[in-house]
Structure 1
């Protein structure tokens, strides 16, 4: 195995290669030995940048958050800003589902995460919410986005046979439900079979932002 010149092994390069390993092999590929082999470096060199695998995972997730913010510009309408941030986060996580399953439940406490938290809090403040309310609403939006991303990423990393069975259940078992026992399922079965992940997330996000908008209007009315 060829070795890298001294100083060429940076934290950013390690994170980038680890993301590629996760995409290729899932969590089983994320060992310091395999990372070292991919980097052409002694595994012990990785410890100069990351004390353990947990630190590495947090840095990887923060890298994804940063990717999601690439090219971001706030909208004039604060609602569209929040909507855009949520979709950006979703897209970058679902592009790397193994990483999403590992990291959507974590708090990275690093620059990328702090940037998006700052943007969301600033956006909510511009809508008229005080610091406490903005913090609570940030958590609602963040947890909604990450929960959907983690759930959908988990489905995407199932093997093909499992995915096919689960996806097909709506047009087979549910479509064949006894209308006497399950009348509501029987009436809705053809609709259940056509619902996809993105439309479900989009509806949940729209409902949440509509509720936040109504809350902002109520607060404004009460303050007058």
Structure 2
């Protein structure tokens, strides 16, 4: 079955190769989408120009017209994920709601592409989508009353926490199903029978440890960060 990027490449058209197949008119976006599709299905090992060229039906050397090397392509993929998170997002009049909505969206995108997210969350893309995220975040923190210097410190603490959490969640998604089931069952298994004599607080909390859902816990952790920022904000009447 032909992939989505393969269909788009064929539709892009251009001159025909000797085999009679149309040569795709490559663009940075088409290459990034092909790369992301391969990473979703195969994993990080798919991040090679040879594999991406084969996916697009193009000579791998043609990719170098758009990306200097593999790392340049990875940064473009990382920025593409942020662009997905930003799509259709309008800042709120409430700075806190702007930040909450932005980072919930970005976390969701990372979990929809976990193999790419594992590589992307630790990088600085230097590209338009990342700059939009930074500008939106600093604008919201400025609206909260922080000076530029204070806004940057709070920006880094908040964003690094969100990225670290997203990387952890994405890495967990890449584990095989058997391993995930084993880890998840530990809360209702081994931890549920820990003796109160040796671990009294674990024993008391055991009924609740198994009830924590990862997605809801991310929202909880994000709200904790935003609560802390709001408490420190110069605009806080308290």
Alignment of 1:23-62 (within 5 A): 23-62=40-79
Of residues 128, 138, 145 in structure 2, which corresponds to 1:121?
138
Coordinate RMSD, CA, aligned: 1.5
User: Which of 118, 122, 143 is matched with 1:101 structurally?
Assistant: 118
2:20 and 2:136 map into 1 onto residues whose CA distance is 43
User: Where does structure 2 lack aligned partners over 5 or more consecutive residues?
Assistant: 1-18
Q: How does 1:66-105 map to 2 (within 5 A)?
A: 66-105=83-122
Give the Å deviation of 1:3: 5.3
**In structure 2, distance between residues paired with 1:78 and 1:63:** 24
What CA distance in whole angstroms lies between the structure 1 residues aligned with 2:20 and 2:42? 22
| 1:65 maps to 2:86 | no
Q: Tell me the CA shift for residue 160 of structure 1.
A: 1.0
Identify unmatched segments of 5+ residues in structure 1: none
Answer whether contact 2:145 2:235 (CA < 8 A) is retained: no
Contact 1:128 1:220 in 2 (8 A): no
* TM superposition score normalised by structure 2: 0.88
1:182 corresponding residue in structure 2: 199
Runs of 4 or more, structure 1, over 6 Å off, are 218-221
Distance 1:4 1:54 in 2: 28
1:207 CA displacement:
1.1
Normalised TM-score (structure 1): 0.94
Give, in whole Å, the separation in 2 of the partners of 1:190 and 1:86: 30
Cα shift at 1:5: 3.3
- Whole-angstrom distance in 1 between the partners of 2:50 and 2:82: 26
Q: Deviations over 1:162-196 (max 9, x none)?
A: 11111111110101111111111111111111111
Change in 2 beyond 3 A, CA 1:69/1:2: farther
Matched length: 220
User: Secondary structure, in 3 states, of the residue corresponding to 1:47?
Assistant: helix
